[in-house]
Structure 1
């Protein structure tokens, strides 16, 4: 483990790594991203997470595959899954954990963000 890597535990005792941009990606989320990339047949995509103005609470997350990197992007490799965060989003996402849930009640990526002070009733935006 390098000096800029910190091992953490997330909800459900899933181990994750947190590095340069402060965002952790759980093993479950890594596996889901690998699966989605394999379905697309692409190995040139990265998982980008960004915070943008919008929603009823003021800020929304954007989580998508991106083939590009921009100047000042922070890129961290999680076992072959690259996670990219732009410099403007880093302060909002530092300490956040991306996980993937697959239950009867919920399926999709989740973001546990200690910087979010509140969220709207629909759960799509935060402040």
Structure 2
């Protein structure tokens, strides 16, 4: 079962990425372990993998020119300007089951992925 995506109080979503409550809770937990309150979750698309593009999720203290940001109940998600079209409408979730543990990205813009699931096109 997937949690519903959090809503943002901003009238316009700057980058179109949604973060589920389960993902937001996991990010908050990881940030608490880091002991820092100046980090944001950066989501990016980069060339690589067998299908051409790979996702990158990491904590970043920087806010670069062209970055788009949305706050999900205290978790700021930033996307660089070049990645926005590839991620518009994507949902980031966190799964913690016997079969799967980790962040997942459901991206309607991905027309296909490789067999290992690490890259898309």
The two structures share one fold, judged by TM-score above 0.5: yes
Q: State the 1:14 CA deviation.
A: 1.9
Partner of 2:106: 112
Secondary structure of the structure 1 residue equivalent to 2:71: strand
Runs of 4+ in 1 over 4 A off after TM superposition: none
Q: Deviations over 1:76-95 (max 9, x none)?
A: 11111000000000000000
Q: Deviations over 1:14-65 (max 9, x none)?
A: 2333721000000110000000000110100000000000000000000000
TM-score after normalising by structure 1: 0.88
User: What are the ranges of 5 or more consecutive residues in structure 2 without an aligned counterpart?
Assistant: none
TM-score after normalising by structure 2: 0.93
The change in CA–CA distance for 1:123 and 1:96 in structure 2 (over 3 A counts) is: same
**In the aligned structure 2, how far is the partner of 1:33 from the partner of 1:41?**
12
Q: How many residues align?
A: 117
**In the aligned structure 2, how far is the partner of 1:97 from the partner of 1:15?**
8
Q: Which has the higher contact order (CA 8 A, sep 6+)?
A: 2
User: What are the ranges of 5 or more consecutive residues in structure 1 without an aligned counterpart?
Assistant: 1-10
- Superposition pairs for residues 90-101 of structure 1, below 5 Å? 90-101=84-95
